Structure 1
Amino acid sequence: MEKNLLSNAEVDENTVEQNFEDEEVKEKINKDMSESDIITALLNSNADDKPTMIVPLKRLGIPVTLKALTGKQVSRVRERNTRTVEKRNKTEKVLDSEGFNMGLIIASTVKPNWSAPELLNKFRASSGEEVLKRILLGGEISLLGDVVLELSGYNISIDDIKNL
């Protein structure tokens, strides 16, 4: 399903690929930058410019535009979907993975607006998450959640970082 769903995925013009093996990226990053050069570069950077990706959902015949999330945004979604459970006199934190993926999708979606009044009325839903539950298959929810995490830099390997 994943291969079929993403095989025709388009990446829009604003997408920034996080491929650290790319020579162009290596040239832009000076390993010997001083502390003040790094701070100046950060001050001059546009932190609001986040990678985006258009994912076509063939089954529904619609494109979904997703943007990367910051670490803080991902942490908030994770916290909202983590509950404390007591097992054998031990307290454990358990992540609701379906809720986590839906939260990631809602926070990351540029378009469509899952909370549009027309969708809420059509699907008799009280929120965008309810709309997602009613129209997307479980695998589609999981896949879109994975795309959000990938866009947000969660699948960068240590080897990619070392190659800088």
Structure 2
Amino acid sequence: MNEKAILDKLFAASEEDNIPQKTVGISRIGLSFTLQGLKEDKLEKLQKQYTNIEKVRGEEIEKLDRKRYNRAVIAEATIAIGDDKNVRWNHPELLSKYRASGAEQVIKRVLLSGEIMQLVDIVMDLSGFYNSTKEIDQIKNLSEGDE
């Protein structure tokens, strides 16, 4: 593979169209949710936003508020609810109905704990965290075939 082909693949990888997406249904609600993977900078921003610093015996300890972080990940990764890209967790009618100040509070009121965890797992998978060695081997084989 030549330099231009390598650069073209790297440029294409950063485009929004190349971010993995998946539509999943929650039978209890009777709706589908289209989720997309999140890039490192977005996950870092959310992690920083939901990390609290506590002083314990004079030492600062960072503690991630995992529940709020998980809800924020879902809010950020949801690109459509019920196949409608105009409906997201921060829709004005949802905020009003649940008297919520943001998408994270709507998610807390609508989804069960297990549903939140399942959606977070899907987002993390789409973000590349759970890639199996089989998939990595496929990538290696693909790159070897291009040489």
TM-score range relative to shorter protein: 0.7 to 0.9
Where does residue 77 of structure 1 map in the other structure? 46
Q: How many residues align?
A: 132
Aligned to 1:135: 110
Counterpart of 1:38 in 2: which secondary structure?
Answer: helix
- Where structure 2 has 5 or more consecutive residues not aligned to the other structure, the ranges are 82-87, 141-147
Output the TM-score relative to the length of structure 2: 0.80
Equivalent in the alignment of 1:13: none
The percentage of aligned residue pairs carrying the same residue is: 34
RMSD: 1.9
Distance 1:54 1:154 in 2: 18
Q: What CA distance in whole angstroms lies between the structure 1 residues aligned with 2:56 and 2:133?
A: 35
Q: How does 1:59-78 map to 2 (within 5 A)?
A: 59-78=28-47
Instruction: Map Cα deviations across residues 42-88 of structure 1 (whole Å, 9 max, x no partner).
Output: 33556212111111111111111111111111111111111111222
1:52 partnered with 2:21? yes
Match of 1:99 among 68, 72, 91: 68
Relative to its length, the structure with more helix (as a share) is 2
Check whether the contact 1:98–1:142 (CA below 8 A) recurs between aligned residues. Answer: no
TM-score normalised by L of structure 1: 0.72
Q: Partners in 2 of 1:43 and 1:160 — Cα distance?
A: 21
Give the equivalent residue in structure 2 for 1:43.
11
Q: 1:90 to 1:152 in 2, by over 3 A?
A: same
